[in-house]
Structure 1
C-alpha cells in the first residue's frame, strides 16, 4: 500500500478484511465545527473516528500532545485498529489533519498507514457512498511501542539552537511566522524559532486539496532553502500541520525528519525561549 492512496483505490478495497478506515478530522476552535458530530452524520463506510484531542496526553497543558504508548494502544484496540491492519486515514478539514494521525500511528509502530488523497471532500464530490451513525467495532490487539526518534521535545529544540544539527521548517502561514499576525491562541508571543524557515503547509497541496507530487512537491521544499540531504524538524502552531510537511517529505523519500510536538504553542509561551519576527 502506498503512503498516499486515491479515492479509486479505496473504493476498490472497501470491505477487505485487513483494511481499516479512520476519520481524523480536526479543526481550530474558532472554526466552531464538531468533527465527531460531522462524522456521525456522514463518513466513509466502515470508518471509525479518531479524536485527536482525546487520544492525547490530557494531563498536559498543551493541546493534543502525544499520549503514552499504553494509552495509544488501548484507544487503538477500542477503535478496532490492530496489529497487521492496513490503515487508511482521511479528514474533512482544510488543515489536512489526517497527516497528524498518519504520523502518530507511525510513531507508535504502525507502518501500513496511508492518507486518502483529497479526503472526504474528494470522495463525496465523486458521488461515492457514505454512511451515518456510530460504527460497531470489534476490539483488536495493538502492541504498545513508540519510536521517539520521530519526536522532538522543547529541550532538544533548545539544544538545536546551538548545534544547528537539524533544519527547522515551520508550517504556519507566513503572517504568523513573521509575527505580523497575532497567534490565535491567547498568551503566545508572535514570531518564530531562530533559524527556522517557513513553508506554509498549503504550499504542498493542489487547489482541490490533493497533494502535489514529484518535482512540484520537491520544488516547494527547495524554494525555502531546505537542504533535502540533511535532517529536518517540522513545527507549526500545535503539531497538526507540521505533520503535513512531515508527510510531504516522506512522499519524497526523505525520512530523516522529526516533528516538534509542542510546536509554537509551547515555544511561544516559555519565558526563556528566543523568538524572531520578520520574514527571512
Structure 2
C-alpha cells in the first residue's frame, strides 16, 4: 500500500508542517548533522552557531556501538534509550530529524528510531531549505528534562553480514547499494583504507542522490518508484539496503517507507564490513 503524497509524521514532513507545530510542547526537533571528513565541517560547531529553535543535537557516533571497530553500527538498545532520555525525547513526542546537508544523515537517525520501535520523521530539505525560506534559527540551547521512552525493538529491520551473505548467495532479496556508481563498479577507490573496491554480488546500484530533487528534498512517490525501477529493483520482493557505512543506505529505506514497501532492512556493516573480508566474494562493473 502506497503512502499518500504529503506530510507523514512516520516518514517525511515539510518545512511548512514543522513551522506550524514549532511551539508544540510535544514536539522534539533533532539535529543529526554528520559529514564525510573531506567536507571540512564540524556539525556540533554549526549547531552551536545556528539551529532550528528547540532543536537538540545528536551526534551519530554517540548513538552508535562504540565496541565495534566498524563505523556507525547500531547501538545496544540501552545506549540509544539513555541518550534519548538525556536529551528529553520520550513517549508521546512528535520527533522531527534534520541535518545540515538537506537530506543526508538525518535518515540514519530516523532508521534507528524505527529499529527501536519509535516513530519519527525526517524534515524534507533539512536546514538548508528551512534557512532558504527565511525561517527562524537560534544559537540558544533548549531546556531539557529527562523523558522516559518505551522501547519496542524491530530486529527484522537490520541484517548482519552472515544473513546478507546467505541472501546474496540464494538470491532471496533485492540488495540495493546507495554508494556512488563509480564505487559500486569498483572504478573508484574506497575512502576507507584497506577496503576492496566493488559491490556485493547480485546487488543493484541506486546512488542515494537519484532519490532527491535538486533542492535536496525527496522526490514524490512516482519519482522514487521510477528510480528503483530504473535501477532494476523489483519492489514486489524484499529489499536490503547497503552503502559505505550504513548512513546513506537509510535514505533508501526512507524512500521505501514512503512507497509503503513492507519488507525492507538495512545491512548495518555495509561496505565497511563486506569490503574488509577477503573470503566474501565481490563483483565489479555494472552487474
Does the CA-based 8 Å contact 2:174-2:233 persist in structure 1? yes
Does the CA-based 8 Å contact 2:206-2:228 persist in structure 1? yes
Partner residue of 1:40 out of 48, 57, 60:
48
* Secondary structure class of the residue paired with 1:106: helix
Partner residue of 1:166 out of 166, 169, 173:
173
User: Which range is displaced more, 252-261 or 92-101?
Assistant: 92-101
Q: Does 1:210 align with 2:226?
A: no
**Cα-to-partner distance string for 1:14-67 (whole Å, 9 max, x where unaligned):** 111111101111111222211011111100000001110111100100001001
TM-score by length of 2: 0.95
Partner residue of 1:131 out of 114, 121, 138:
138
Query: What aligned pairs does 1:196-207 form with structure 2 within 5 A after superposition?
Result: 196-207=203-214
Q: Does 1:87 align with 2:95?
A: yes
CA–CA separation in structure 1 for the residues paired with 2:196 and 2:115: 29
Partner residue of 1:106 out of 107, 114, 131:
114
Does the CA-based 8 Å contact 1:171-1:200 persist in structure 2? yes
Partner of 2:126: 119
User: Which range is displaced more, 11-20 or 156-165?
Assistant: 156-165
Partner of 2:278: 271
CA–CA separation in structure 1 for the residues paired with 2:248 and 2:103: 6
Q: Does 1:219 align with 2:226?
A: yes
Q: How many residues align?
A: 279
* Secondary structure class of the residue paired with 1:53: helix
Partner of 1:193: 200
CA–CA separation in structure 2 for the residues paired with 1:44 and 1:119: 10
Partner of 1:230: 237
Partner of 1:23: 31
Q: Does 1:61 align with 2:41?
A: no
Shift in alpha-carbon separation, 1:95–1:119, aligned structure 2, 3 A:
closer
Q: Which runs of 5+ in 2 are unaligned?
A: 1-6
* Secondary structure class of the residue paired with 2:271: helix
CA–CA separation in structure 1 for the residues paired with 2:86 and 2:38: 30
CA–CA separation in structure 1 for the residues paired with 2:32 and 2:187: 31
CA–CA separation in structure 1 for the residues paired with 2:66 and 2:122: 26
CA–CA separation in structure 2 for the residues paired with 1:94 and 1:239: 18
Q: Which runs of 5+ in 1 are unaligned?
A: none
Per the TM alignment, residue 164 of structure 1 is displaced from its structure 2 partner at its CA by 1.4
CA–CA separation in structure 1 for the residues paired with 2:178 and 2:152: 28
Does the CA-based 8 Å contact 2:33-2:105 persist in structure 1? yes
Q: Does 1:242 align with 2:263?
A: no
* Secondary structure class of the residue paired with 1:89: strand
* Secondary structure class of the residue paired with 1:54: helix
Does the CA-based 8 Å contact 2:199-2:284 persist in structure 1? yes
Per the TM alignment, residue 94 of structure 1 is displaced from its structure 2 partner at its CA by 5.7
